């Protein structure tokens, strides 16, 4: 990952500043957010690769932030910063969609190790370019390489590909894509998905009229085939 982006959601100022300085000092792109109710929007705007999430926050509890993000289909790793080694809370946090947790007070070295482990996991899943017939798909850079030329993918196309890859070998319905990838509350305009898939196919398929990568599954939606 070129420069990993970290969002730090923490209301305790000294800790927030300390974490910001440390991670920024190590070359991460860092954004800080002091409120729970601003965290979901901050993820949408900053598009972090990873989030450190405190639990006791003004505006919205960290657990709720986590649930909201997962309900929207956000796939980024979330590490919860918990105040107590409360087993029940930890189990609840992992159920809410957190990938890991660290108990305060923590050693920075340990937090770094956990951040690095989560980013490695993401990179293993999405980092190496995917070899497709006739092209390479680089989700980290958000581009398709064909005949030595790079074609940029939109952020939405990257999210769409990731969602289909995660669902593999199952097909994903248009309604699910609209709510999880587009973030629509209700699935209304299903042509939106078909149009986006057509544009994506034009970029990644050898022959967009005979798609081999993304299949249309009758009455089910779309499926990643490779």
Closer CB to Ca ion, residue 98 or residue 164?
A: 98
Closer CB to Ca ion, residue 54 or residue 205?
A: 54
Q: How far, in Å, CA of 160 to CA of 177, rounded? A: 8
Phi then psi dihedrals of residue 203, to 5 deg: -90, -35
Pairing between β-strand 78-82 and β-strand 130-132 as defined by DSSP bridges: unpaired
State the nearest-atom distance from the C-beta of 121 to Ca ion, in Å.
Answer: 26
Q: Which of 54, 138, 159, 205 binds Ca ion (CB under 5 A)?
A: 54
With CB under 5 A as the contact rule, which of the stretches 8-16, 32-40, 87-95, 212-220 interacts with Ca ion?
Answer: 8-16
State the nearest-atom distance from the C-beta of 54 to Ca ion, in Å.
Answer: 4
Strand partners, 135: 132
For residues 144 and 138, the answer to whether their CB atoms sit within 8 Å is yes
For residues 19 and 137, the answer to whether their CB atoms sit within 8 Å is no
Binding mask 9-38 for Ca ion (x = CB under 5 A): --x---------------------------
Q: Which residues bind Ca ion (CB under 5 A)?
A: 11, 54, 56
């Amino acid at each position: 990952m070129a420069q990993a982006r970290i969002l730090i959601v923490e209301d305790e100022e000294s800790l927030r500043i300390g974490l910001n300085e440390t991670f920024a000092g190590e070359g991460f792109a860092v954004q800080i957010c002091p409120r729970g109710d601003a965290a979901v929007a901050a993820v949408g705007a900053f598009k972090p690769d990873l989030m450190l999430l405190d639990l006791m926050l003004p505006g919205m509890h960290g657990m709720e932030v986590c649930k909201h993000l997962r309900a929207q289909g956000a796939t980024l790793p979330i590490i919860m910063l918990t105040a107590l080694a409360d087993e029940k809370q930890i189990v609840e946090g992992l159920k809410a969609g957190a990938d890991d947790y660290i108990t305060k007070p923590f050693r920075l070295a340990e937090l770094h190790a956990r951040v690095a482990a989560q980013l490695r996991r993401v990179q293993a899943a999405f980092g190496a370019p995917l070899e497709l017939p006739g092209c390479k798909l680089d989700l980290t850079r958000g581009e398709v390489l064909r005949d030595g030329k790079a074609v940029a993918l939109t952020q939405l196309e990257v999210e769409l590909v990731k969602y289909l890859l995660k669902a593999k070998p199952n097909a994903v319905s248009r309604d699910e894509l609209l709510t999880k990838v587009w973030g629509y509350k209700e699935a209304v305009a299903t042509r939106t998905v078909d149009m986006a898939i057509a544009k994506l196919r034009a970029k990644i398929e050898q022959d967009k009229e005979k798609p081999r990568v993304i299949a249309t599954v009758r009455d089910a939606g779309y499926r990643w085939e490779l």
